[in-house]
A and B are shown apart, each in its own frame.
Chain A
């Protein structure tokens, strides 16, 4: 196959490591990979790749790659079909359902891995073609709390409002709920400066790979009880004020609300936090002093406060992000070069994916769908009447809860998401999907979700398509096509184009990614995330220019906007230009310990797998390194439960039970077990997690729930009655075995 060396970026996480794809060498060919992957020098990954990135090309040649549409027949089985058959069927069913139940009976579920172009087209498709308000995406499981917190405080939400490489100069970095060393390994290099100053503080209930970076005098690991990150932050804020460490001039000049926040944390002195969070009071004081010493106001070289999913995937995720922002503001960090607050975006296009309109409440350019001006602007770009645009829908968990209910959506289109594995309380998700009249799933390989689908449409992978991704630092990156997709595979832009045409909308859905981007740029013009000064052509012509949004088109043709690597240097994006501090308080997890569920379950990731594992589990090296789900537990707990290392453990909550191999390690707290969530079936962690959500962001509480743990040989304890709907009589199997697409009965 003829492959010209192609500069692009990794298909997985938001670090978007730069890669070069070239013609396959012998080793690649031996593995069935159609291209050779190499790391490429870039400010974020500095040429590095993790094992996922190095092996990413193997998914292109996965033996069970979807290369043809599949349609569920009268026999209940999925059968191969032609594209015309599949698209006609989908369009026909959608029309029937809409005719019978109205446009709200069709819903769309997108993904944070979709390119900006796809995310944009999908949002437009939902609003213009389907005319449904019900679109949301798995970014709701990812960045929603960080987004809500940042929007409220700063008036804009860009994960890192500064280049990642800025971290390198900091004297201190406080990392809350992020396991960078596993989730985006090449980023760890940027922590070297803070580690050298002994200033890396990691807050995590596990002594994770990232927490171990604090050893040997490199910093401090705070190991709170799950669900108590917020009190830790409140305690740090308390110390900042109690010990006179706040940057009072900054608070005076650049913020509002500091007094209320100061009062609210008066009740969180370190010894009280110690009681609630299990973090020694003196560690809290040390941390606060270390951060303050690094702050610009006190002559330090800079400090950062960073949050990740560990603290955000919580029913108090927005409050926790707000407290982290408050801490950064109290120390005078945001909007200063070399310091700041940031959220570490998870999914590949988790940033861009939340800017272009696949969020329930949002239009392109990070505009609000309830803002009349925003509606008018976008409607004009789309050539429709603003009054015809639907209003806000509901967040992901609520959308899924409504699927197949009498008043809820009857049809669901899923793009770039393996809901059955990655959504919380997956038993309920399977139940809701099974209750739909029509489930259409676009994916690249069979997944646990495609197995439940009525129609499966095969789509392109990263190396086979053009587009852009917006990385964790808000930088717009080009994804480039290195090779042709296998015959029978189409891009999602082509799918949407074809469906729109069948549903009567014959223009406005180009299949060329560059053309879609140009329209996206116009639609975003004047919005918070303004891409109007960017085009594929510009990104290709000026690869050395780091285009971070906002990058408005401007009026002067000669002077191109250079992009905005650092936000807030002059003012925050609020009405008065000041950052808003909001007092928050601790409530604790929605599903807390009780005698029949006396242990916490926390969930997370391993280095070798990405999200639901649909891609990475197909790479032999990754599957071999992490072949199966596991339950990490402390030796003292394992001893008490009579579970040996390598034996099966059953983890049961009021939602369900997961059974997986025990890994006995002192990195766990004795009151907490950990499970990675990358696997389907018996050991799927999300059978156990709760779908309770944050009241502001709609983020589900993946990260903590109360469980009972037993040796799997012993009888599984009865599940305590759940508060809502009972189990379905016969749920379809979402297991991982079976034919490429599966034969599960619906």
Chain B
């Protein structure tokens, strides 16, 4: 930072939080996207306030798991997935101890100690579980048969998962960097692949493998693709897009058996008896929260670790965030929710570490501060406490060639689908989170654009003047507009049908006009000098015949020069048609013949008299 900035900084109010010493001990179990974000957010808010220990099962630095399907597709550089680690030398960094490749195996809540697989014990004042979720391995013959078990890692997320049986060769989940790399390696020699599970991840994986030239079939138990997010019509549009990529699809299909040969997958046998050949099988049939550690130490676990609105379990010293947690509003399985939880928890933990008198006052709050001095603007902060958090349930497919964006509810309540996002059992609330829960339900209205031949389906549900549900398949930029309107709850048009299309943009400039003849007189030709077509016509009538004459009289073309072509076009048109002098031109001819004056006055005869056009010219461009 330069000296001058430093000076400004010192001049601004800087309510730097001071840690209570000695620092409290915080243990974070899990070093995935959410666990690492929590540490990052906490360091930004209260550097050094906690002595932090992070236990991460994977040997890697934290990375962006959301992009693993992009790795499978081969469209991203793996190194670009690496997320911020604790930067050396940054404020508070010395207080953070990250243990990669260390798995938590037990929690002793009595003694407030976490036991790791290396025998280490980590005492805590505050414990955060961010153990993530695991790929669900369906109970199919061949996947669970004892003779096929071998000592291989199974996909896990974060830390804290007990060792699990391995999968047969050629069978992979897609939860970790290792999974993605193995799938990429397997795809090199694979002739045919089956992706088991036609949800978001399944479609991304299938499209990615298809892009690598592998023959892919998606086997999906539901009635249609992404049935937790999409209605049948929308799914049909998505299925059409997948078909264009050459991906085969079996919906409503149960997988009965993984056919193995020498321990390697050779095919998938379906319930109907059909055998789909495959030397690569990718499991994308949903996830299971990694909640074993919590369950084993007596914390309440339903699907995930049960937490309250404050993200704490019934043991106030223990918190859970991200995929392993089950908050009151339900888990979405989406990273946006996990990051939002990390932010909220970091804010709370930082606040607990800051003496109350140091809390920023109103005057300071008006200066949006850097993270180190940030008054939190989130839902838990002051006046904003009553606000619902921004919706985090937007599902966006990243597959090239298959455009699906879905959020909020599907359809109006009578036929609303209480579906969920990601590949989860329907008991998990997902796409029905927000205003639907209001006690006095507003009137719902759903409108849709169905364009199956083009593989497009756009559907919006509006209630109380805001969007409460959106489904976009093959909708192009409309999807980006709708997501902005949905997440910010901005007012929607009275007729929601306007939301379904982006209207084509009209001509922006005179140069875009098809013909000078069709151009109204008041059309601005030269923006820089506010010259209309009418002004140019008036100059013509007073004898101007060249671009130079036009410039001298009206200054058109003397700004950016961008209208030169248009002016030439008008001159050419005038030369061809030479419109007769309008009645009353004599009134202004005197002014119009004076170079540099009265162009607008002359123009007044050619179109509506406009005081804005009675401009005068101070000077003639002499070049």
- List chain A positions with a Cβ less than 8 A from chain B: 20, 25-28, 30-31, 33, 36-39, 41, 46-51, 54-55, 57-58, 148, 151-152, 155, 181-182, 185-189, 207, 209, 212-213, 215-216, 225, 238, 241-244, 260, 262-264, 266-267, 269, 271-272, 274-281, 283, 315-316, 359-362, 366, 368-371, 391-395, 398, 583, 585, 587-588, 590, 592-595, 598-599, 607-608, 620-621, 624-625, 627, 636-637, 639-640, 666, 670-671, 690-698, 701, 723-724
Q: From B6, B612, B619, give the contact of A25 (CB < 8 A).
A: B619
Q: Is B396 touching A398 in the complex (CB atoms < 8 A)? A: no
Which residues from chain B contact A701 at a C-beta distance below 8 Å? 368
Docked Cα-Cα span, A624 to B613, in Å, equals 7
Does the CB pair B480–A280 fall under 8 Å?
Answer: yes
Whether B85 pairs with A151 at a CB distance below 8 angstroms is no
- Judged by a CB distance under 8 angstroms, whether B91 is at the interface is no
Q: Report the contact-size class of chain B (Cβ under 8 Å from the partner).
A: 35 or more
Residues in B lying within 8 Å of A, measured CB to CB = 1-12, 33, 37, 63-64, 66-67, 70, 75-77, 79-85, 87, 336, 362-363, 365-371, 373-374, 377, 384, 387, 394, 396, 398, 476-477, 479-481, 483-485, 487-494, 498, 503, 505-506, 508-509, 512, 527-530, 555, 558-562, 594, 596-597, 611-623
A51 CA / B594 CA spacing, docked (Å)? 19
| Alpha-carbon distance A670/B10, docked complex (angstroms) | 40
Q: What's the count of A-B pairs with C-beta under 8 Å?
A: 311
Shortest Cβ gap from A647 to chain B (Å): 17
In Å, the complex CA distance between A49 and B620 comes to 12
| Pick from B11, B84, B387, B492: contact of A263, CB under 8 Å | B84
Contacts of B70 in A (CB 8 A): 242, 269
Listed A/B pairs (19) with beta-carbon separation below 8 Å: A50-B528, A54-B529, A58-B618, A148-B5, A181-B527, A188-B560, A243-B77, A262-B82, A274-B480, A368-B4, A371-B3, A392-B10, A583-B84, A595-B489, A598-B491, A620-B615, A636-B498, A640-B491, A696-B9
User: Nearest Cβ distance between residue A424 and chain B, in whole angstroms?
Assistant: 11
A58-B618, A262-B82, A263-B82 known; A370+B365 contact, CB < 8 A: no
In the A-B complex, list the 8 residue pairs whose CB atoms are closest, starting with the nearest.
A368-B3, A278-B484, A621-B615, A212-B508, A315-B368, A361-B7, A188-B560, A185-B528
Given contact pairs A275-B487, A624-B615, A266 touches B82 in the complex (Cβ within 8 A): yes
Most chain A CB inside 10 Å of its own CB: which residue of B6, B373, B485, B619:
B619
Closest chain A CB from B1 CB (angstroms): 6
**List of A residues within 8 angstroms of B527 by Cβ:** 181-182, 185, 209, 607
Q: A27-B596, A260-B87, A620-B616 are in contact. Are A48 and B561 (CB under 8 A)?
A: yes
**Contact yes or no, B368 A692, CB < 8 A:** yes
CB <8 Å contact, A370 and B7: yes
Question: How distant is B547 from chain A, measured CB to nearest CB, in Å?
Answer: 14
Q: How far is the CA of A370 from the CA of B3 in the complex (A)?
A: 7
Closest B residue, CB atoms, query A21: B619
Q: How close is B47's CB to chain A, nearest CB, in angstroms?
A: 15
Chain A residues closer than 8 Å to B4, beta-carbon distance: 148, 151, 359, 361-362, 366, 368-369
A207 to B505, CA, bound (A): 10
Bound CA span A637–B465, Å: 12
Q: Is the CB of A46 within 8 A of B618?
A: no
Neighbour of A395 across the interface among B8, B363, B368, B492, CB < 8 A: B8
**A278 and B490 contact, CB distance less than 8 A:** no
Contacts A51-B528, A590-B368, A695-B370 given; does A598 touch B67 at CB 8 Å: no
Chain B neighbourhood of A723, CB < 8 A? 362-363, 365-366
Instruction: List chain B residues, Cβ under 8 A from A186.
Output: 528, 559-561
**B64–A624 contact, CB under 8 A?**
no
Report the minimum CB–CB distance from B279 to chain A (whole Å): 29
The smallest C-beta distance from B341 to any residue of chain A, in angstroms, reads: 15
Q: Are A624 and B11 in contact (CB under 8 A)?
A: no
Residues of A within 8 A of B75 (CB): 242-243
A81 to B520 Cα, complex, angstroms: 54
Q: Of the candidates A57, A242, A271, A593, which one forms a contact with B76 in the assembled complex, judged by CB atoms under 8 Å apart?
A: A242
Interchain nearest-CB distance for A270 vs B (Å):
8
A241 with B377: CB separation less than 8 A: no
Complex Cα distance, B61 from A266, in Å, reads 12
Which residue on A lies nearest to B13, using beta carbons? Answer: A398
